[in-house]
């Protein structure tokens, strides 16, 4: 393995490592615009120029492989001068419209100017004019004047999505990033171009002019949009909520996980969070009396529902009760549900799977047809009909229609997605007691007698298990909306009312209990799951599959 000395410190690195990567291993950040570890290397921005001893010219750190005995300077006067010069060149034709630019605060022109520039402007000439506020696709706006032609977005569309929408047209300082004639930047992953744009050239239609980035707080999480479980950061606006018209979640950004999603996420997941602050959110326990919804306190709701559930079971037996859990729920929520329904109430008709009528979009990259983040977790926890030798969801609906089922407890599902609307109506209208527990109103909730408000994935802590058996953590970014609560707390409270308390105070308590009981999770803890998740035993091969899909 070659040894290299960077700014006086020696390090041994893998063969093929570039200077910029070796420096990173030493904690030295060489500035970069065009270099992105997930894309091919083009060496065009020239900001990463470094001095390598015995080479007459400065070299770009992104492209130069380490050789044994190489001595690199990233910080001497010659390098700093070149870096300042490149910044100055990049900025002479830049509009410097930071006050109205959405990138301000996370702009690498601003950041590197503060770190490496700080010169006085010598530019007195008219700037080159280019096209502004171009609507180039369903999610992306382009300001060509702000573009520094690093070509990251072009390479993303060429190399990652292979959709080839973007090009750089014209020559010299009139060179301009644009979609090819007649094309739009419209692919399943287009939002990533915004993430990797180091400046304000590509901005997000969904985020433009909504909030300044310095008001945002970031919370690590996992996308609940499908079973891949892409790692994300939830960006939420806690500091000036009144400026956002009640919208607390400003955007989702992919978070690097080498095993799952690398640097990327799909648009479906990226823009799929709007239900969190939507008007359809259920914000308090509700009860339907004579066809009208009426709010009630949690205390009353728990009392009434617990009593009615008990009555039903007493009167008609456990076989007259159906429970439909959801793979949208965390492992913790599912485990608490299982404790409650199976142990406290001794029910058998417990299932979670509702096959979607319309198959979800799937590709060989990140998007999976299963649009649930925790199907694998639900399977592992044993909450399917098979595990409980009870009725499947379809059978429950059939039994309901025949009036043999007297109570149904439905978590999160909109049954309409799996069954014909009329079918669902016909079944649910025959059941005496329908309890819906979920985040948003839907057809199913409208057909229920009681609605209990669940917190959404950005409002809770917990874990999901992705398709490959990787357990990953989600973190609470904002408080549950209104009166909504995490599912596990609702089940804990119901259980307590029925005389069986569950000693859980934090999601971690639920997880630890789960670990004790479910073999697949043996030995795990929140600490061990860490930043990038952990594969359950027996899933090593699946992990390779995950990577295979990305590398292929």
Least distance (Å) between residue 60 CB and another protein: 8
CA distances, 1 to each of 13, 37, 61, 507 (Å):
6, 21, 19, 46
Residue 123 in the binding site for another protein (CB under 8 A): yes
Residue 124 in the binding site for another protein (CB under 8 A): yes
Asked if 202 contacts 218 with a C-beta cutoff of 8 angstroms, the reply is no
> How crowded is residue 297: how many other Cβ atoms within 10 Å of its Cβ?
11
Least distance (Å) between residue 19 CB and another protein: 14
Residue 292 in the binding site for another protein (CB under 8 A): no
Q: List the one residue out of 473, 450, 470 whose CA is nearest residue 460.
A: 473
Nearer to another protein, 93 or 237 (CB): 93
Binding test (CB under 8 A) with another protein, winner from 13, 39, 72, 86 = 86
Residue 9, token pair as written in the block: 């410190």
Nearer to another protein, 142 or 481 (CB): 142
Nearer to another protein, 40 or 389 (CB): 40
Rounded Cα gap, residues 498 and 85, in angstroms? 73
3-state SS, 500-536, equals CCCCCCCHHHHHHHHHHHCHHHCCCCHHHHCCCCEEC
Candidates 120-128, 239-247, 339-347, 436-444 — which segment interacts with another protein by CB under 8 A?
Answer: 120-128
Residue 125 in the binding site for another protein (CB under 8 A): yes
3-state SS, 259-311, equals CCCECCCCHHHHCCCHHHHCCCECCCCEEEECCEEEECCHHHHHHHHHHHHHH
Binding test (CB under 8 A) with another protein, winner from 96, 128, 547, 549 = 128
Rounded Cα gap, residues 67 and 87, in angstroms? 28
Residue 116 in the binding site for another protein (CB under 8 A): no
- For another protein, the binding residues in 14-53 under the rule CB under 8 A are 41-47, 49
Residue 54 in the binding site for another protein (CB under 8 A): no
Nearer to another protein, 45 or 313 (CB): 45
Asked if 147 contacts 199 with a C-beta cutoff of 8 angstroms, the reply is yes
Nearer to another protein, 82 or 366 (CB): 82
Least distance (Å) between residue 438 CB and another protein: 53
Nearer to another protein, 125 or 516 (CB): 125
Nearer to another protein, 30 or 383 (CB): 30
Candidates 173-181, 202-210, 511-519, 526-534 — which segment interacts with another protein by CB under 8 A?
Answer: 173-181
Asked if 108 contacts 197 with a C-beta cutoff of 8 angstroms, the reply is no
Nearer to another protein, 56 or 182 (CB): 56
118: left (phi over 0), alpha (psi -120 to 50) or beta: left
Residue 96 in the binding site for another protein (CB under 8 A): no
Residue 174 in the binding site for another protein (CB under 8 A): yes
Binding test (CB under 8 A) with another protein, winner from 58, 153, 166, 347 = 58
Residue 70 in the binding site for another protein (CB under 8 A): no
Candidates 6-14, 77-85, 284-292, 377-385 — which segment interacts with another protein by CB under 8 A?
Answer: 77-85
Least distance (Å) between residue 149 CB and another protein: 7
Asked if 360 contacts 371 with a C-beta cutoff of 8 angstroms, the reply is yes
Residue 158 in the binding site for another protein (CB under 8 A): no
> Residues in contact with another protein, total (CB under 8 A)?
37
Beta bridge partners of 176: 169
CA distances, 232 to each of 163, 187, 213, 364 (Å):
24, 20, 17, 20
How are beta strands 450-453 and 433-438 bridged, if at all? parallel
Rounded Cα gap, residues 549 and 542, in angstroms? 11
Residue numbers of the site for another protein (CB under 8 A)? 41-47, 49, 56-58, 60, 63, 81-82, 85-86, 88-90, 92-93, 122-126, 128, 148-149, 168, 170-175
């Amino acid at each position: 393995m070659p040894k290299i000395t960077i700014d006086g410190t020696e390090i041994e690195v893998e063969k093929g490592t570039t200077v910029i990567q070796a420096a990173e291993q030493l904690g030295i950040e060489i500035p970069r615009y065009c270099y992105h570890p997930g894309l091919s290397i083009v060496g065009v921005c020239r900001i990463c120029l470094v001095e390598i001893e015995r080479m007459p010219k400065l070299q770009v750190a992104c492209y130069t492989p380490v050789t044994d005995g190489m001595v690199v300077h990233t910080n001497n006067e010659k390098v700093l001068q070149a870096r300042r010069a490149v910044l100055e060149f990049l900025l002479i034709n830049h509009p410097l419209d930071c006050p109205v630019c959405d990138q301000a605060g996370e702009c690498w022109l601003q950041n590197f100017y503060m770190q490496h520039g700080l010169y006085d402007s010598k530019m007195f000439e008219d700037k080159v004019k280019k096209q502004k506020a171009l609507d180039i696709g369903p999610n992306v706006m382009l300001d060509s004047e702000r573009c520094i032609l690093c070509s990251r977005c072009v390479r993303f569309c060429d190399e990652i999505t292979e959709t080839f929408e973007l090009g750089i047209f014209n020559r010299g300082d009139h060179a301009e990033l644009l979609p090819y004639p007649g094309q739009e930047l419209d692919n399943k992953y287009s939002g990533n171009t915004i993430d990797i744009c180091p400046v304000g050239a590509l901005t997000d239609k969904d985020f433009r002019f909504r909030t300044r980035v310095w008001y945002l707080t970031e919370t690590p999480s996992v996308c609940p949009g499908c079973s891949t479980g892409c790692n994300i950061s939830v960006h939420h606006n806690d500091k000036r909520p009144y400026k956002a018209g009640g919208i607390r979640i400003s955007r989702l950004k992919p978070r690097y996980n080498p095993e799952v999603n690398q640097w990327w996420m799909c648009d479906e997941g990226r823009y799929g969070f709007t239900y969190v602050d939507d008007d359809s959110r259920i914000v308090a326990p509700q009860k339907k009396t004579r066809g009208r919804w009426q709010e009630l306190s949690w205390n009353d709701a728990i009392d009434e529902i617990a009593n009615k559930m008990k009555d039903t079971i007493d009167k008609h037996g456990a076989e007259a009760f159906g429970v439909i859990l959801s793979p949208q729920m965390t492992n913790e929520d599912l485990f608490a549900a299982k404790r409650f329904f199976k142990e406290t109430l001794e029910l058998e008709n417990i299932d979670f799977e509702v096959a979607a009528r319309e198959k979800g979009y799937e590709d060989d990259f990140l998007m999976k047809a299963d649009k649930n983040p925790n199907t694998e977790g639900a399977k592992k926890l044993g909450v399917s009909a098979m595990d409980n030798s009870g009725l499947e969801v379809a059978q429950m609906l059939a039994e309901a229609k025949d009036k043999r089922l007297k109570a149904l407890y439905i978590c999160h599902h909109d049954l309409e997605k799996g069954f014909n609307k009329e079918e669902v109506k016909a079944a649910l209208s025959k059941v005496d007691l329908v309890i819906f527990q979920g985040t948003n109103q839907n057809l199913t909730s409208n057909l229920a007698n009681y609605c209990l408000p669940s917190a959404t994935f950005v409002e809770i802590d917990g874990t999901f298990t992705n398709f490959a058996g990787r357990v990953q953590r989600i973190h609470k970014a904002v408080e549950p909306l209104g009166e909504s609560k995490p599912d596990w707390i609702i089940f804990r409270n119901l259980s307590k009312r029925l005389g069986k308390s569950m000693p859980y105070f934090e999601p971690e308590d639920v997880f630890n209990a789960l670990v004790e009981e479910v073999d697949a999770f043996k030995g795990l803890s929140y600490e061990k799951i860490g930043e990038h998740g952990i594969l359950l035993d027996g899933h090593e091969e699946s992990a390779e599959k995950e990577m295979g899909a990305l590398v292929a």
